Structure formats: C-alpha cells, structure tokens
Chain A
Amino acid sequence: MSDAQSLGTRLLRKKPVETLISDTAGATDPEHGHLRRGITPFQLTMFGVGSTIGTGIFFVLAQTVPTAGPAVIISFIIAGTVAGLTALCYAEMASMIPVSGSSYSYAYATLGEGVAFFVASCLILEYGISAAAVAVGWSGYLNKLFEILFGSGLPAALLSAPLVADGYSLAFGGDGIINLPAVILVFMCCLLLIRGSKESARANAIMVLIKMGVLAMFILIAVFGFSSENLKPFAPFGFAGISAAAGTIFFTYVGLDAVSTAGEEVENPKRNLPIAIISALIIVTSLYVLVAVTALGVQPAAEFEGQEAGLATILQVLTGHDWPAVVLAAGAVISVFSVTLVVLYGQTRILFAMSRDGMLPELFYRVNPRTMSPVACTIVVAIFVGAIAAFVPDAVLWDLTSMGTLVAFMVVSAGVIILRRTRPDMQRGFKVPFYPVLPILSIVACLYLIYNLNPTTFKLFGVWLVIAAVFYFAYSARNSRLEKAAVVAAARA
C-alpha cells in the first residue's frame, strides 16, 4: 500500500497552488487581508542593484582577466544580456503563481516534484556555494584592510584554503590551512539570522549607496591612470576566452532574481517588472564595465592573476597613497557582509520550504520558540557553507555557482514555454515579450555559457547531481507530503 505511486507519478506530481498560497498567508488581519502592493519600481530597481553588486565585481577580475584579457569587458556585456533574458523569463514564472518562494516552489506547482528537486539542488549551488565564494572574496579585502591599517595581514596559513585549483583540477597543496576570516564571516551572519535580524529596505538602500559610492570612487580615481597601451592586445585568447570568462562572470549577476520574485508586491507588474529588471541590469552592467575598463587601463592584464583584493591594490599602486585603498576595502568589507547575509538567508528559507514539503528532514523546518526563527536550519547551512569557504578555493566556487544558476534559469525558461502550451489559460501577472523568441534565446544563451565553463565544473556538478538524485529517491520521494496524501487517498479508495 505504501508504494501507492509509481516512479513516473512521483516525479510528475505537483503541489496544489492553494497549498502554496496558504503556506505563505499573512496574519489574519481584517484590515490588511490582501497583500499590499507596496514596492515602487524605483525601490525594486534598488533591490536588484543591491542584491547583485557585491556578489562578484570586487573579486571577479582576478579570475577572468587571465582567461579573456582586456576583452573581459565584452564578457560582462554578454553575461549581463543573458542575465536579463533569464530574469524576464523568471518574472513570468514568478507572476503565474502568486506565492513567495524561489523557482523551487514555482517548479513544484507547475512542472512536478522531480523538476522541483532538480531546481532546488541547483539553487543550493546558487545560494550556498555563492555565499561561500563571496565569503572567500571578503576575506581578501579584510586582510588588505589589516595590511594597510596595521602594517601586516594575517598569516597565509589562515587566509587560504588547503585545496588549490591547479589548472581547474583540485589538489592539496599551497601554504593554506583554513580560510579563517571567511568562516568567521559566515558564522557572524549565522548568529544574526538566528537572532532574527533582517536587512530592511532602508538598510538595503544604505548598502546600495556604499557599494555604488566606492565603485564610483574607484572609477573616478583610476580613470586618471588610464593608459590605452594596457588594453593591447585586446583579446589575446580570442572569442573562446571571452565566452569562458562570460560563464564565470554570470555569477556576478546572481541576485537579479530579487526583482523577478516581486510580481505580487509591485504595482502594475506588467509595466514595472520589466522596467525594474532592465534598469537594474543597465545600472549594474554599466558599473561593472566601467570598473573593468578603468582597472584594465591602469594595470597590465598580466598582473591580475591571483590578485586578492584587486581593486584596492590597484588604487594603492596607482595613487601611492593608502587612503583610497582603505576606503574601498572598508566599503567592500561592509557591503559584502550584507550580501553574504542576504544570500545565506535565501538558502535557509529555500531549505525551510523544501523540508515543509517533506523533501528534507523535519529538522530544517523546526522553528525555535524563543527567537521564532528556524535555528537548526540556519546552523546546518552555516556549517556547510563555512566548511566550503574554509577549504575550497574560490575559482572553483564561482564556476560552480554560475553552473547551478544557469541550469536553474534554463529550467525556468523552458518552464515558461511548457506552461504556455500546457496551461495557456492560467493567469499571468507578467508575460515575457517576444514569445517564443525570448525564452528560446534565453535557453540557448544559458547553454552557450554552460558549454564554455571548464570541465572540472562539469565533473563537480555531475557528482553533486548524483548525490542529490540518490537523496531524492532514498528519502524525499518517500517522505514527500504529497506521497503521504497519496497513500491516504489510496487507503480510502
């Protein structure tokens, strides 16, 4: 009786939208029974900018300039365009199902449990792994700050991972033991989340100002050291190099989905969602490109490789003074902290939603009575992310994040096409323009970037998917809430 469902039905069963809605219903309040559409397009744009900048621009040049040369500027534009396409598809998906949740929830309601679990395992890369990657980058800037302010940084053994990425294959070596600052950052964020601290809309606005301020400062100072000689040869590794770098850079656009998921909160989503997505994208891409152009104009391409706290170092060398580097490093340390907090928060809530559906053990959705927050879930996430940040080098983490995010977005784009065919009459708050060209373009673009990621990433991603699949069939498929409902229904029949 307990195996009431076949494998096919299990993989394809869908969570009723009504259940999804009741999961996230607010307090029973007669005055505010309906969701208030309170977010303005400007605020929404700032959310997009706030959650995107900081995930990578402070660190990514050291990784991508060796791959693409000065042509990395083009990589930024390519990655940004792909991010924009996927964000528009994501917005249609999010607007179809008027609930909160990540693409995991949307997939569960429309494409079935199997796809939902697959998307969720990609999301763990998008959130968990990117939190680790960002924490590693943060530790570089913190160390830079210590070096300038106190004359000496932390010992190298406490600053880098014991594993090194040697030509993208992982090996033990180097003089690192543990990346201590990264671990400390993850656990500080964990403590804040356990206490129930949240970044408010106002705090986000302040963070956006800090981030844009320090980047603008970088551009304004670096432009005086600009030498077009440094941009030659422009594309030493040809288009292959540009594409490979674009794949890695895609990671710096993670966070744009903060705009896509706001369909229920923003007034007139049909008009305002695309406006917010595209304006956020234009602001972010222009800042990235300007930072990249000025950085490349100041420093020869060969010097980027392996550079920690790159932007601060460039300013220090260029001006011969410490203060611009201190300001930039301090800005990075503050704002990347907030990015890590937001990303970790997202990860805990995705796992929370999954465990409520029975995909993960009950431990993940137990709410602590004292703080009224999911403490156990937060601690597990912090240990997982902290361990990765401590022992794995960031080059591998960035590509893995890009991989997970691209695959998840690809599924979402495909979902848009599938649902236009299978559920044409379902209400959509926002529709993708130029259907079906845009979603198809989005899928092709994602595939193209994935194809250009390096082979080690594929191996790691494969291993991760196998682990996820084993877990799904051993645990989730049997413990799913829908499984229990099906067993009850079968017993009744």
Chain B
Amino acid sequence: MKYLVGYSADQGGREALALGILLARNSGGSLVVCTILPETWGHPSMARVDAEYANFLDQHAKKTLDKARALVGKRVPAEFVSRAAPSAREGLFSTAEDVAADCIVLGSARAAAIGRFLEGSVTSSVLHSAPLPVALAPRGYAPGPRTRLRRITCAISATPESARTARGAHELCARLQVPLRLLTFVVRDQQMYPTGVGYQAENMVANQWRAQATAGQKKIIAALPSKPPVTGAIADGKTWKAAFGSVPWKDGEVVAIGSSSLGPIMRVFLGSNAAKIVHTASVPCIVMPRRGPADSD
C-alpha cells in the first residue's frame, strides 16, 4: 500500500510521518511524503511578480522535505514531492491521484490534548470529502522504533449496515496481514432526574443495547472470511472516554471507522459518533470512505 503523508515542518507533520512509517512497514508499503505550497503568480511578467516569493517557497519545500527525508531514513521506501495548489486539501487530493495513493496520513491540530486528536482546518475539510481512507495521528504520537502495526480495531455500531464497514476493515487487515477486532461502544446515558421508575433505569437500556450489539457482532463475524482472524469486543462506560478505556489496546494498534451515511458514496464523511471516537481515541484512527451497496459483495 502507498501512503500519502501530508507533511509540514512542525510537530504535527512529524507525527503524521511517524504514523505513515508505522503503516508502511507492514507488507511492503511505501510512502509519498508531500508538502503543499500556496500557488504563486506563475505568468511571465516584466516585474517578475511573486518571483521572490516563489523562490522562498521552493527553498522552504526543499528544507522541509530534507527534514522528512532524514526522519524516514532507510526504514521504508519513500518519495518526496512538493506541490503548489489553491488549497491544501486540493493539493493532497490531486497528489493522491497522481501517485495512486491508497491512504492519506495527517497529523493533529496543536490545540488537542496530548495523546488525542483534534482536526485543524485542513484535516476537517479532508475528513468531509476525501475519496480515499484518511489516517490520523494523535498529538504527540511517537511509536517506538520497533513498533509495528499489530491489530486493527474497527469501531462499528453492530447493525446490518455496519457489516459493510466491517468488511472494508477486514479487506484492509488482509492487505496489511494483521488481525481485526470489531468494537462496539456502549456509552451509558445520563439518568433522568427525577423519575418514578428508579435511578438506574438507563442501565437497563444500556444493557439491552449491549446484548443487541453482542448479537449483531456475532452475526457480522460469522459472515466474514476466517482469515485474517476476527474477534469482537464491547467498549462499555459512562462516557466515550471511559468506554474507550474499558478495553485493552495494543502498542501499534489503530482504529478504523466508517463514514456517515450522510455523506456521498465513496467519500469520507465524519459522522457525529465517528467524531467522538476520533476525539477520544488514544491511538491513531483511519476513517474509511463510505461504501455503497454495490461494494457489499
């Protein structure tokens, strides 16, 4: 698989690059490290409009990519490109098309808490329109030099529709040769006060949802091919954060989530529950484009 890392010469860029390297190590992947530059006035003119600026940008790109080159070293095969585009998003998409990338890798905004992800303006627009999967590195992401991708956890809601997402994640696991874990969230709702039906009534609903989700997962797992291996788990807690912490996570694990059915087919579109997962996950997330019914078999 080919990973397009959206790189900038800051901490976020380094974290994205670290995630790209981790992913590319599995099953002969490669990197394309790309830095997007603003477009300059390219037409020939007497006054050489923007020429100094264009010059500066070239220098900047070269320096940036040199830094990236030093970071990647010989660990994975990598290309380094820079591209001028009207917006970072368009630049990333057209580069992805040119180099036939399989996944875009991006870093977090600096406003995020350490170990969490928060989208900046570029990531936000990419997360609502990318035609290919988008991997997100949380702030401060620094896997050890020997860390490898060990497992992919696919967060699904265990409905028949989410079987498609699970199948997508399963295909991804097959390419990367890692096992898959299906994870469903049971986030316990607030209790209503006051109430005549008791002060634990919401647990009754949550436990029912848990049972429903477990049954749904079993069905989905039964329909998936047996290789690579698939397991199921329930993340149960009072908040999204507590639920996330209620299941064990491996070093070198990533979360895969599907796109909202609100968005167009074949595009990434971050739904409301997916956004909560992306923001609470302490591991990198891969947001996969929405699969149409045609992909179902």
Contact = CB atoms under 8 A, between A and B. Distances in A.
Interface of A: 22-29, 35, 39, 47-48, 50-51, 94, 99-102, 105, 127, 196, 198-201, 203-204, 255, 257-258, 261-262, 264-265, 342, 345-346, 349-350, 352-353, 356, 365-367, 369-370, 372-374
B50 interface: no
26 contacts: A23-B207, A24-B201, A24-B207, A26-B203, A27-B236, A27-B237, A27-B243, A29-B237, A29-B246, A47-B194, A100-B198, A100-B200, A100-B201, A101-B201, A102-B196, A257-B196, A258-B194, A261-B196, A262-B199, A342-B192, A352-B205, A352-B208, A369-B212, A370-B157, A373-B189, A374-B208
Given A35-B200, A345-B195, A356 B208 contact: yes
A128 to B, nearest CB: 13
Contacts of A369: 157-159, 162, 209, 212-213
B193 A204 contact: yes
B132 interface: no
Contacts of A39: 199
Interface string B231-262: 00000111000110010000000000000000
B197 A366 contact: no
Given A101-B204, A198-B192, 11 more contacts: A28-B236, A29-B237, A47-B194, A99-B200, A102-B197, A105-B198, A200-B193, A261-B198, A262-B199, A370-B273, A374-B208
B72 interface: no
B208 A367 contact: yes
Nearest to B187: A372
Given A26-B188, A369-B159, A100 B204 contact: yes
Contact of A101 (B162, B191, B198, B209): B198
Contact of A346 (B157, B197, B203, B237): B197
Contacts of A204: 193-194
Contacts of A352: 204-205, 208
B186 interface: yes
B206 interface: yes
Contacts of B186: 27, 372
Given A356-B208, A367-B208, A196 B189 contact: yes
A349 B200 contact: no
Contacts of A265: 199
B125 interface: no
A49 to B, nearest CB: 9
Contacts of B147: none
Interface residues of B, number: 37
A193 to B, nearest CB: 9
A204 B236 CA distance: 27
A262 B212 CA distance: 28
B211 to A, nearest CB: 9
Contacts of A51: 194-196
Interface of B: 157-159, 162, 186-209, 212-213, 236-238, 242-243, 246, 273
Nearest to A90: B196
A22 B198 CA distance: 15
Contact of A100 (B157, B203, B213): B203
Contacts of B243: 27
Nearest to A259: B194
A341 B5 CA distance: 50
A348 B157 CA distance: 23
B190 to A, nearest CB: 4
Contacts of A23: 204, 207
A35 B188 CA distance: 15
Contact of A199 (B188, B192, B236, B238): B192
B204 A353 contact: yes
Nearest 6 pairs of A and B residues by beta carbon? A100-B198, A47-B194, A100-B200, A258-B194, A369-B157, A367-B209
B127 to A, nearest CB: 19
Contact of A198 (B189, B207, B208): B189
Contacts of A257: 196
Contacts of B205: 349, 352, 367, 372-374
A28 B246 contact: yes
A342 B194 contact: yes
B197 A261 contact: yes
Nearest to A266: B199
Nearest to A257: B196
Contact of B197 (A29, A101, A199, A201): A101
A352 B189 CA distance: 15
Nearest to B184: A369
A466 to B, nearest CB: 26
A264 B200 contact: yes
A27 B204 CA distance: 11
Contacts of A47: 193-194
Contact of B193 (A29, A199, A255, A370): A199
Nearest to A23: B204
Contacts of A255: 194, 196
Given A201-B193, A370-B273, A29 B242 contact: yes
Contact of A24 (B194, B203, B236): B203
B257 to A, nearest CB: 14
Contacts of A367: 205, 208-209, 212
B212 A342 contact: no
Contact of A261 (B187, B195, B246): B195
Contacts of B187: 372
B195 A372 contact: no
B197 A100 contact: yes
Nearest to B245: A29
Contacts of B207: 22-25
A162 to B, nearest CB: 31
Contacts of B191: 198
Contacts of A100: 197-201, 203-204
A51 to B, nearest CB: 4
A201 B213 CA distance: 30
Contacts of B242: 27, 29
Contacts of A94: 198
A196 B273 CA distance: 14
A28 B194 CA distance: 25
Nearest to A100: B198
A456 to B, nearest CB: 26
B236 to A, nearest CB: 5
Contacts of B157: 369-370
Given A27-B238, A100-B203, A100-B204, A346 B196 contact: yes
A102 B208 contact: no
A199 B246 CA distance: 27
A258 B198 CA distance: 7
From B158, B188, B197, B203, residue with most partner A Cβ within 10 Å: B197
A373 B199 CA distance: 16
Given A27-B238, A369-B157, A102 B198 contact: yes
A68 B191 CA distance: 40
A350 B237 CA distance: 23
A176 B69 CA distance: 79
